[in-house]
A and B are shown apart, each in its own frame.
Chain A
Amino acid sequence: MSDIKANSKLDTSGKCCPMPIVETNVAMKKINSGEILEIIATDPGTLTDIPSWCERTGHTLMESGQSDGVIQFYVKKG
């Protein structure tokens, strides 16, 4: 469990590519610069997709981890 406090949470559990990235884009538009989005995913593709999406889009991946097939990302909006 992370100590990071997210401003918003997106749960994409059970969904697969392209939906986690599609929904992450939508969720990120709803928060302000500097705020943090917590993303929950079960698609292993997100392990590569979310970090590279952060690099391309100017957001910061603060922390990620996985446990029992559940992947968690904390992304600060740039």
Chain B
Amino acid sequence: MKSLAIVVREDGYDKLLTPLAFAYLQGAEGTQVDLLFVNWAVRALTEEGAKGQVIQGEHAAQDGWVRQQVEKAGLPPDIYDVIQALKATENVNFYACSLASSIFGVNEDNLIPEASGIVGASWFLNEKAAKAEHCQYF
């Protein structure tokens, strides 16, 4: 696979793990991976938001246990550390949706340096998603 586009809309520690793991797999192999964070998930592209991701809802009580399992599996247990590891592959780009950024309080000042910027959804859908060999939504 040469290119993969991923749209991430669900936040929460556990819900972010799968798209990030898929991006890590493909980025490590040399696939160009572009992720657009929309809705609540855009907050994961701020340092405070990334570090503050927890498991919500019915599995909230198992947050600590899941983090231990993630660390045992070899992944950094913190979402921000995972984002940095993905960026280090040099094949993964993170984008914040401009609408989501406006609604959920993300701007150029609090956007993490690993993110490539705040972009319009139209640009991402046409320039990244439509041109990618494969597209996923989480």
Q: Which residues of A contact B (CB under 8 A)?
A: 12, 14-19, 21-23, 25-26, 53, 56-57
User: Which of B53-61, B70-78, B121-129, B130-138 binds A?
Assistant: B70-78
| Cβ distance B4 to chain A, nearest Cβ, rounded Å | 13
CB neighbours of B28 from chain A (8 A): 18, 21-22, 25-26
Contact of B24 among A15, A16, A22, A53 (CB under 8 A): A22
CB neighbours of A57 from chain B (8 A): 29
Cβ-closest 7 pairs across A and B: A15-B74, A19-B74, A16-B73, A22-B28, A18-B25, A25-B28, A18-B24
| Cβ distance B111 to chain A, nearest Cβ, rounded Å | 25
Contact call B21/A18, Cβ cutoff below 8 A: yes
Dominant secondary structure of chain B at its interface with chain A: helix
Contact call B73/A21, Cβ cutoff below 8 A: no
Contact call B25/A14, Cβ cutoff below 8 A: no
Which bracket fits the contact residues of B?
10 to 19
B46-99: which have CB < 8 Å to A?
72-75
Contact call B21/A17, Cβ cutoff below 8 A: yes
Q: Considering the chains assembled together, what is the distance between the CA atoms of A15 and B24 in angstroms?
A: 14
| Cβ distance A39 to chain B, nearest Cβ, rounded Å | 14
Contact call B73/A53, Cβ cutoff below 8 A: no
- Chain B residue nearest to A21 (CB atoms) is B25
Contact call A14/B72, Cβ cutoff below 8 A: yes
- Chain B residue nearest to A53 (CB atoms) is B29
CB neighbours of A12 from chain B (8 A): 74
- Chain B residue nearest to A23 (CB atoms) is B74
Q: Considering the chains assembled together, what is the distance between the CA atoms of A25 and B28 in angstroms?
A: 6
Report B36-47 CB contacts with A as 1/0, cut-off 8 Å: 000000000000
CB neighbours of B25 from chain A (8 A): 17-18, 21-22
| A21 and B21 contact, Cβ closer than 8 Å, known pairs A15-B73, A16-B73 | no
| Cβ distance B86 to chain A, nearest Cβ, rounded Å | 10
CB neighbours of A56 from chain B (8 A): 29
CB neighbours of A18 from chain B (8 A): 21-22, 24-25, 28, 75
